[in-house]
Amino acid sequence: MEKAKLTTETPADAKPVLPAVRSFEYWTKKELEALPAREWDEDIGEFDSLIILPTKHLHDSGFWCMDFVAVKGNQPFCRLSGCSDVIHIDGIGGYGEWKQNVPTVIPPKGWSIDCLKKSKLLRLFSDGKLKAGRALSSFDLYAVK
């Protein structure tokens, strides 16, 4: 009995196997830009990661504005801002979400950034779920454990 030979070559007539729902890694920048935008103060709940989209709009500060796409699981579902020139990770100063006029004290989170395969955009994520602040000139992003 002859053993099967292993090969790393793909036959010319092979068709790619794609999941039923495309994961965020395979979305183009144009597809991400076409997602619906949330209202500036809309609470969309928790999500898993954030894709950073550069825009063609110059902020009053002289820096380029960014938009952000929220991702739950592997599915992008809405754009979050479009008018922000900076991201405050875990809020201004890293103190977490402010309650009235006092910042909360939070333990450090494990933040990571990677670069998406198809669009080459940056994705930001942490050890837990994420929560978006309002869509203002500066964008607050919080890690929720």
Token pair for residue 131?
Answer: 């929560």
Closest by CA to 69, choosing from 97, 19, 32, is 32
Return all residues near 36 (Cβ < 8 A) that are at least 6 apart.
78, 79
pLDDT of the residue at 69 = 95
pLDDT of the residue at 2 = 57
pLDDT of the residue at 122 = 92
pLDDT of the residue at 89 = 84
pLDDT of the residue at 72 = 95
Q: Residues of the chain whose pLDDT is less than 70? A: 1-20, 92-108
